[in-house]
Amino acid sequence: MTETATNATTHKGSETREFSAEVGRLLDLVVHSLYSEREIFLRELVANSADATDRRRFEALTDAAQALPENARISINPDKDARLLTISDDGSGMSRDELVANLGTIARSGTRAFGQKLETASPEDRPSLIGQFGVGFYAAFMVADKVDVVSRRAGSDEAWRWSSDGKGAYTLEPATREKAGTDITLHIKSDADEFLDPWRLQSIIRKWSDHIAWPVTIMRDGKEEAANEGTALWRKSRNDVTEEQLEEFYRHISHNFDKPWDTLHWRAEGTMEFSALLFIPSSRPFEFGEQMRESKVRLHVRRMFITDDAEILPPWLRFVQGVVDTEDLPLNVSREMLQATPVLARIRKAVTTKVVNELKTRAKDAEAYTTFWNNFGPVLKEGMWDDPTYKTDVAALSRFRSSAVEGLTSLDDYVSRMKPEQDAIYYVTGDNADVLNASPQIEGFKARGVEVLLLSDPVDSFWPERLGTYEGKNLRNVAQGLNDLEKFGVPEASTAEKADMSILLPALKTALGDTVSDIRATDRLVSSAMVLSAPEGGPDLQLRKLMQRSGQDIPDVTPVLELNPAHPIIHTLAQKVQAGNTIDTLARILLDVASIQNGETPKDVNAFSRRIMDYLAGSMQGANTQQGQAD
């Protein structure tokens, strides 16, 4: 894609050149498709200005004529009356031929060509080049009907004007400029008034270009005001940054008012280079919505903000805030294109591993780690469900409530306390750990001294199946581990006299019909009379509840009613059946109470209330009759 040099006309020192058909099509693509936000144009132009200023500073090392003025900066001047926006810099500027090469040919990049010259330069002499002057420049046509560029090459007395409406041609003509550098003037479109507002321009600079090395100023009410901070903390050595600076920057990017719980500040060098400054908050943000699962770590390229949608970290680390800045990505690409670059994939892996290793180190301080876990543990646990690469690491970092110890425990600690004959890690899921600890579901395990993890976060219904095993031990829901109880012996309570279930079970099945899939005796209950469980192979009741709350259609699963043969209530029911009495009402009450124990509402609350009232009325009448006979 090159310009068509033969299609050039000259009128009194002014030369008009046409873009080739290929360049014209590419220009239309840049303006309408490459960038998803119009404000990006300012980022690109400021990036080019910063690049040119860096270039001049570097060239001045060997050519005194290139020396920068003491107050070198990038100036932005909006003129609402004339509908003009001018971006000026004190950079290296461009000669006539460079204007043709860099602006007349989109496929060629002045920065790229300059960068090739730097391959033999020493690292300390290489400026931090920003952008590739070419494609990014043409983003200006998203907001401008016409663009004028007046540029004077450092060391030269000549200045040239490049003008184009971004459609089919551009003109070149001699111009005047007092000193070396470049002025880019945009004739703002009628629907782009916002980009003539100094406050709007400053917000864009703060968002996209706050930490480039050169000062950026904006003219407001005739005064030149600073628009950027100009210092990239993440590119400094940790020893050169104070805690106060880190905290201020953390609050700036996170909009939180706390101090960070942890700060990660490092520079990666080798096959890829990037700087990173990341923070883990010390408190859970007020609007830390579970529905927003994307990581918002900011991606910068050579100090310039590119996007916070690059998904630098996986969703299960979305609580981490900060900046990653790399030299290995082009500046002028869209977020959509970034997602497909292998460089970004390698950066993601490196940053994720760094954060995971940092958490492993901090987890050694149990008290401090508990603070972190209470804030972000439910989010971190998502990694066991949706990240096969790191699921084992996340499992080691996870903490849980347990039936055996106070506070939190790790899976490693659980394994260290397992019984010699135990080959599985047992857990139970529900909405509240305290309620789970008193649940009939785990009575048999507790009575035999077998520890059970109490999992009460929504994600806990999903990740155990995906994790599968830990340290060679299977993770097993207590509802699926009933057959394992035999290996742990018989608890003392199990020696009590048991009801005759051969008479009771058929009567209950007749009374309850298809409201349960089965009724059976169990030895996992100690103090409770009954418990509901999922049929073998079906989803447990907690998972079904979560799916129902989220509005998902799930097939109806009829529960299993399990009974404790040693409980007085079961004895009484068996005696009633043996005496020929009906137990239909009591059977329904039994099932409804079992549902309540599981944190569910009886299917027919009104019918449940009537049964309770009728049963109480009958009991009271019987008591009165007995009292009358006694009298």
> Please, are residues 164 and 30 in contact by the beta-carbon 8 Å criterion?
no
Please report the pLDDT score of residue 335 as a whole number: 59
pLDDT on residue 475: 95
How far apart are the C-alpha atoms of 326 and 301, rounded to whole Å?
5
Asked if pLDDT for residue 198 goes beyond 50, the answer is yes
Tokens linked to 108? 């060629």
Nearest one of 439, 445, 429 to 597, comparing CA atoms: 439
Separation of CA 147 from chain center? 39
- Would you state the pLDDT for residue 106? 52
In this prediction, residue 507 carries a pLDDT of: 93
- Is pLDDT above 90 for 346? yes
Confidence of residue 58 (pLDDT cuts 50, 70, 90): confident
Q: Which residue has the higher pLDDT, 601 or 621?
A: 601
Q: What is the mean pLDDT of residues 68-74?
A: 93
Give the pLDDT of residue 544: 61
Question: What is residue 469's predicted lDDT score, i.e. its pLDDT?
Answer: 96
Question: What pLDDT score was predicted for residue 577?
Answer: 92
- Distances in whole angstroms, Cα of residue 602 to Cα of each of 534, 539, 594, 618: 16, 19, 9, 22
- The answer on pLDDT for 113 being more than 70 is no
Over residues 476-499, the pLDDT tens digits come to: 988 766 668 888 877 765 567 888
pLDDT of residue 405: 95
**How confident is the model over 544-573, as pLDDT tens digits?**
665 555 556 666 678 889 999 999 999 999
- Residue 86: beta bridge partners? 77, 185
CA dist 296 to 43, 253, 308, 315, Å?
Answer: 19, 10, 5, 9
The model's pTM: 0.77
State mean pLDDT over 575-594: 90
Is residue 259's pLDDT more than 60? yes
At 348, the amino acid letter reads R
DSSP 8-state secondary structure symbol assigned to residue 140: G
Bigger pLDDT: 11 vs 582: 582
Task: Give the tens place of pLDDT for each residue, 278-322.
Answer: 999 999 875 554 456 788 899 988 888 888 888 999 999 999 999
In this structure, of 268-277, 350-359, 363-372, the range with the lowest mean pLDDT score is 268-277
Question: If residue 84 lies in a helix (H) or strand (E), which one and from where to where?
Answer: strand 84-89
pLDDT at 36 over 80: no
Work out the pLDDT band at 368, boundaries 50, 70, 90: very high
Mean pLDDT of 64-81: 93
Average pLDDT of the residues in 412-432: 94
- Locate 573 and state its tokens: 């029911």
Q: How does 151-179 read in b/e, with b if 16+ C-beta sit within 10 Å?
A: bbbbbeeebbbbbbebeebbbbbebebee
Which is nearest to 299 in space by CA: 279, 283, 322?
A: 322
Q: In angstroms, rounded to a whole number, what is the distance separating the alpha carbons of residues 139 and 319? A: 33
Q: What is residue 213's predicted lDDT score, i.e. its pLDDT? A: 82
Of residues 463 and 38, more confidence is placed in 463
Question: Across 294-298, 332-336, 469-473, which has the greatest mean pLDDT?
Answer: 469-473
Complete DSSP assignment for 444-488 = HHHHTT--EEEE-SGGGGTHHHHH-EETTEEEEEGGG-GGGGGGG
Range with the poorest average pLDDT among 267-276, 353-362, 409-418: 267-276
**Which pLDDT score, from 0 to 100, does residue 275 have?**
95
The pLDDT value given to residue 540? 63
**Regarding predicted confidence, which is higher, 121 or 3?**
121
Return the pLDDT at 194.
97
Q: Give 164 or 20, the one with higher predicted confidence.
A: 164
| CA-only gyration radius of the chain, Å | 36
299: Cα within 13 Å, side-chain hemisphere: 26
Average pLDDT score, the chain? 84
Average pLDDT of the residues in 172-180: 95
**Res. 8: pLDDT tops 60:** no
3-state secondary structure at position 402: strand
Q: Is the pLDDT of residue 418 over 70?
A: yes
Residue 186 has pLDDT above 70, yes or no: yes
Token pair for 565: 């043969």
DSSP state of 409: B
Query: What average pLDDT does range 107-119 have in this prediction?
Result: 49
The arithmetic mean of pLDDT across residues 142-169, rounded, is 92
Rounded percentage of the chain residues whose pLDDT exceeds 90: 48
Cα distance between residue 554 and residue 566, in whole Å: 36
pLDDT, residue 2, reads: 36
pLDDT at 92 over 90: yes
- Give the per-residue pLDDT at 114: 45
pLDDT at 126: 45
Per cent of the chain over pLDDT 70 is 81
Residues 6+ apart with CB under 8 A from 264: 276, 277, 278, 279, 280, 322, 354, 355, 358
Q: Of 525, 521, 527, 529, which Cα lies nearest the Cα of 505?
A: 521
What average pLDDT does range 165-187 have in this prediction?
Answer: 92
Confidence of residue 189 (pLDDT cuts 50, 70, 90): very high
Helix (H) or strand (E) holding 502: helix 501-512
Position 623 pLDDT exceeds 60: no
- Among the residue ranges 56-60, 178-182, 219-223, the one predicted with the least confidence is 56-60
The predicted pLDDT at position 111 comes to 43
User: How far is the first Cα of the chain from the last one, in angstroms, to the nearest whole number?
Assistant: 113
CA 94/CA 153 separation, integer angstroms:
5
